[in-house]
Amino acid sequence: MSEIDPELALRIIGGVAAVIFYGRFYLQWIASERAGRSVMPVAFWYMSSVGSLMLLGYGAATGSANGTLSHSFNIVVYTRNLIHIWREQGTLTPARASAVKALVVVVALVATSVLAYTWWHKFLETQGFSQEEARKTWFWIAVGAAAQGMFACRFIVQWIASEAQQKSVIPVAFWYLSLAAGTLLFLAHLNQAEWVYAAGVASTVLIYARNLWLIYRGRGVESSSGN
């Protein structure tokens, strides 16, 4: 019986993770087209949570500085949206809320350790590069980090809007920030030959633009989750 190639297994895991995480926006696209306006189905947040955790592990396994940064702390926002949705649906129990919050704390602590390890390992790796190669590597890591800052800002904006209304909503600024950040992050992953991440991010850019088109056709300025 032949052994499983670890590299092939890792690629398969990365591919599955990418389909789950980046595929959430195709689910959102289909739901929006059916509704004739920009909407966010609840499955989006479940796929976000599961896919993000898988891509965090994939990033650590492949030594991707931008990959681990991308998926270290966004679980906090994803689960917060689920809590809002569960509350609105009347399915949020005290036990469920406590369990989710405890899980998020554990995940955040583990993610912090993974992120620190990956970036330290990347620093040691680039010590053996030529000066030009090291400069180029860290330039694109910086571009990716800037893009992640923009992605984080979109969820801060979304979080503020949701907390203000006490339900999960998606403001228009979310999609502008997504479009700009997605373009930058795609370039960062592409220049570091991180194909799983690059392909995944590229596949979502068109959807960001489509949501803006739906919004500015007058079919709703702000979309809600839990549809």
Give, as one character, the DSSP assignment of residue 128: T
User: What whole-number distance in Å separates Cα of residue 157 and Cα of residue 176?
Assistant: 11
- The per-residue b/e assignment along 174-202, b for 16 or more CB within 10 angstroms, e otherwise, is bbbbbbbbbbbbbbbbbbbebebbbebbb
What pLDDT tens digit does each residue of the chain (227 aa) get? 456 778 888 889 999 999 999 999 899 889 988 888 878 899 999 999 999 999 999 999 999 999 999 898 888 889 988 998 999 899 999 999 899 999 999 999 999 999 999 999 999 999 999 999 999 999 999 999 999 889 888 878 888 888 888 777 888 888 899 999 999 999 999 999 998 999 999 988 888 888 888 887 765 445 555 44
Separation CA 140–CA 186 (nearest Å): 10
Contact predicate 85/106, CB 8 Å:
no
Rounded Cα gap, residues 197 and 28, in angstroms:
19
Place of tokens 């990365």: 14
pTM of the model: 0.80
Q: How far apart are CA 118 and CA 189, in angstroms?
A: 16
